[in-house]
Homo-oligomer: A and B are copies of this chain.
């Protein structure tokens, strides 16, 4: 069963249709799995084959189109009537001779939509170049419009229920982060630490279990902390290694990501200093966040705070997030960076992650937060410091 009231799905759909009208779109093809979930409740690991929702302005429910095998999954997880679930035959799957978008074109013709303004999520992972070309060839009378992120921008302000889910995700990430930091020790293999983290992420709490986060735990160590997106190895940790942990708790596809940095043994003064700079910048930035200011205002606070240290950071310091599927937990809407003039509003939710990666090492500390009526509230409650693990372990 879907995880929200039908009325909430209906409101989401009304908000989406308003944006469609604003942008002159009559038919919206929703291929982003998070957007599909947001509008229909659909949840399954089937996004490795082509699937989508069709949203029509005058149709109360979207149509779900996916692989035949997944039709029962759509019946079990969405709020849609059975006649809005349209499976395509299995021989369309990863075929070199048939393409699922041809099936979609035929459905659009059957329901009289072949000459409409059709919006597509042009820069979404799950709308390939081939999807675009097949659609263009299959619906020569349609005008195809770029509707990337239309639904994502509807998602940017969270409902109370969504906030509740993100708070549960935060309880999970606190547990998982603690388990990870407790497990890191000279001589322990990286994979054994990550195994403990995963266990905590999925087991969750006594009250509720965890869902899979959209990104695996990122745990670079040593020189690999000079870059943020390496995962782990089966090598044992060494004294003198910094270790970055970036990982999320996830509850019903809603995320609370968190990053911390650990040093094994007596910390290198350079790493310690970099951590102090990041923490000071993070704290100052959180203090300044409130409704009415823009994303670039937030980034400015960070920039000015760390200026005196001599360090610079040219990447964004955060991004809107919440509901998502692999490969990203970010929402692809607002980013905390120069030039982003999105105005903060209550119940926007971000991951503030001002990491700094130098040539030989890096430091990350992050906080997921929601904008409140007069400031912001961090989801997780976890010490903001460089964690130090003694070398005393006997093995």
Contact = CB atoms under 8 A, between A and B. Distances in A.
Nearest to A358: B72
Contacts of A89: 314
A77 interface: yes
A371 B203 CA distance: 38
Nearest to A94: B332
Interface residues of A, number: 86
Contacts of A227: 44, 69-73, 76
Interface string A68-95: 1111110011000000000001110110
Contact of A128 (B123, B194, B326): B123
Contact of A203 (B47, B128, B192, B218): B192
B230 A203 contact: no
The 5 closest A-B pairs by CB, nearest first: A191-B209, A209-B234, A129-B132, A123-B130, A72-B227
A122 B126 contact: no
Contacts of A71: 227
B129 A127 contact: yes
The listed residue with most B CB atoms (<10 A of its CB), out of A202, A212, A234, A338, is A202
A163 interface: no
A328 to B, nearest CB: 4
A315 B90 CA distance: 5
A125 to B, nearest CB: 5
Contacts of A126: 125
A129 B125 contact: no
Nearest to A47: B327
Nearest to A50: B123
Contacts of A232: 209
A280 interface: no
A269 to B, nearest CB: 22
B69 A357 contact: yes
Given A129-B120, A130-B123, A229 B337 contact: no
B216 A190 contact: no
Given A44-B227, A94-B332, 17 more contacts: A43-B230, A43-B231, A45-B215, A69-B229, A69-B315, A70-B229, A71-B227, A73-B224, A90-B314, A93-B315, A93-B335, A96-B149, A123-B129, A129-B129, A194-B202, A195-B198, A326-B327
B127 A128 contact: yes
A190 B212 contact: no
A85 B338 CA distance: 26
A204 B192 CA distance: 8
Given A122-B130, A148-B130, A45 B218 contact: yes
Contact of A133 (B122, B212, B215): B122
A210 interface: yes
Interface in A180-203: 189-192, 194-196, 198-203
A219 to B, nearest CB: 11
Contacts of A228: 69-70
